[in-house]
Amino acid sequence: MKGKYVVSALLAAVVSLAAFAEVTSLRGAQEIGDTNTVAPIKPVPKMQDKLALEYVHQPPLIPHSTEMVQINPSNNGCLQCHDVDKYRRTGAPRVSPTHYMDSNNKILSDVAPRRYFCLQCHVPQADAAPLVENTFKPAGKFGQ
């Protein structure tokens, strides 16, 4: 019983300290009620060279615009060029074999539902300044 009181007291202390901590955001010093000007979306070139991967299992970045690519439950525009039976004809990189496995590593005939929405992991490359400082350094051969 005494342990519950100690834990509760410690939790209350942490919560009260957090209430006094200064909270910052990417909006800067702008108040919530102020009118916010939205930065323009960075242009993505129609085609560009592929960027090097920075870490093991990093999803490759998309070297072209995805503005006209439609992905919804009934259609995946990425598979028009990248599917296993189409990539040779289009010259696009093939979808990884891991995308045809379910969560139990069973091989499927179509892209697994958990891998169907490509833009959850793969994003277009854009030449944009980082929003926050990043000190990440690629390991070994990565980033070359």
How buried is residue 135: exposed, middle or buried, by Cβ count under 10 Å (0-12/13-18/19+)? Answer: exposed
Residues 61-85 as b or e (16 or more Cβ within 10 Å = b): bbbebbeebebeeeebebbebbbee
How buried is residue 124: exposed, middle or buried, by Cβ count under 10 Å (0-12/13-18/19+)? Answer: middle
Is residue 82 part of an annotated ligand binding site? Answer: yes
Is residue 121 part of an annotated ligand binding site? Answer: yes
Is residue 122 part of an annotated ligand binding site? Answer: yes
Distance, in Å, from the CA atom of 66 to the CA atom of 122, rounded to the nearest integer, reads 10
7 φ/ψ sector (left φ>0, alpha ψ -120 to 50, else beta)? alpha
Is residue 64 part of an annotated ligand binding site? Answer: yes
Is residue 50 part of an annotated ligand binding site? Answer: no
Is residue 118 part of an annotated ligand binding site? Answer: yes
Is residue 114 part of an annotated ligand binding site? Answer: no
Q: Which residues are annotated as a binding site for heme c?
A: 64, 78, 81-82, 99, 118, 121-122
Feature table: binding site? 64, 78, 81-82, 99, 118, 121-122
